Amino acid sequence: MNTESYLSAIYQRCSRRKYINRPIQSTEVQALEAAICKYNESSGLKIQLILEKGEELFGGFRKSYGLLSGVKNYIALVGSKNDPNYKEKIGRYGELLVLEATAMGLSTCWVGGSYDKKNAAALYAENEILNCVIAIGYCENKLSLKERLIGNKSHRKAAFKNPRMKSSGNTPDWFLKGMEAVAFAPSALNLKPFLFHYDNGSVHAELTKKHDFALIDLGIAKLHFELGAGGGEWEYGDGGKFQLT
């Protein structure tokens, strides 16, 4: 996918929680597995696409607290405990998969807590860790009542009013476009625990709140900024700098 396709997916994507019983088409499965293989090789992660076994993690009200239904497939985002940047990598590469799935016509939802942790333990080794998964599949075009109540638009409007940025001097258009894409970045509980700084051509991003998913949120937001700005490269970590290309 090119940058324009990723941006289109950013503005189209919304979290979906009610899935229909329809297998993912083989062409989409092949494309997702190819992307996962590529991202695992470049990142050191062990991302896995799990098909038709969603009941193990999401079946029944108690496992998902009633927040998700009909989940048959998911992406397990497994990282190494020895990698200090594994959480940020999970955010970056997980969101790349979300955007690629969106472009294929698939629906997704980042899930941090509402799944069966005991059954999920079979997905990773002792020196590995699973912080979150991504539900993936097909949904009806129309949002369910619960999805409308949980909503996305209100959070996005709030993000535009509080754009999580601080700048000095004349702010260039590429930085503002990057921040527009950041406004559409999903985050745990919609906290968006980060701040992007622009200072005379230098950009860095830092956390403003520390919680279990904060670095994952930062990885997602950095990716959105990079795509919105038109390309570039981030340093990993809290306070990591951005280099425009």
pLDDT in tens, 113-135: 889 999 999 999 999 999 999 99
127: DSSP letter: T
Per-residue pLDDT tens digits for 1-12: 999 999 999 999
pLDDT tens-digit readout, 193-213: 999 999 989 999 999 999 999
More confident residue, 230 or 60: 230
In contact, 174 and 56? CB cutoff 8 Å: no
Q: How many residues make up the chain in this entry?
A: 245
User: Across all residues in the chain, what is the average pLDDT?
Assistant: 92
pLDDT at 60: 66
- Tell me whether the CATH fold assigned to 3-147 matches the one assigned to 152-235: yes
End-to-end CA distance of the chain, in Å? 18
DSSP state of 18: B
Residue 48 has what pLDDT? 99
CATH code of the domain made up of 3-147? 3.40.109.10
Side chain identity at residue 103, one-letter code: A
pLDDT, position 114: 85
Reported as a pLDDT band with limits 50, 70 and 90, residue 141 is confident
What's the confidence (pLDDT) of residue 215? Answer: 98
Q: What is the average per-residue pLDDT within 158-182?
A: 84
Q: Which of 38-47, 102-111, 141-150, 175-184 has the lowest mean pLDDT?
A: 141-150
**Distance (Å, rounded) from C-alpha 218 to C-alpha 195?**
9
| pLDDT > 90 in the chain, percent | 81
Sorting pLDDT into bands at 50, 70 and 90, what band is 154? very low
Say if strands 107-111 and 232-234 run parallel, antiparallel, or are unpaired: unpaired
108: its two tokens? 């997704």
- Which of the residue ranges 27-36, 149-158, 193-202, 211-220 would you say has the lowest mean pLDDT? 149-158
- Sequence ranges of the domains in the chain: 3-147, 152-235
> What local confidence, expressed as pLDDT, does residue 53 receive?
96
Just give the CATH number of 152-235. 3.40.109
What pTM was computed for the model?
0.93
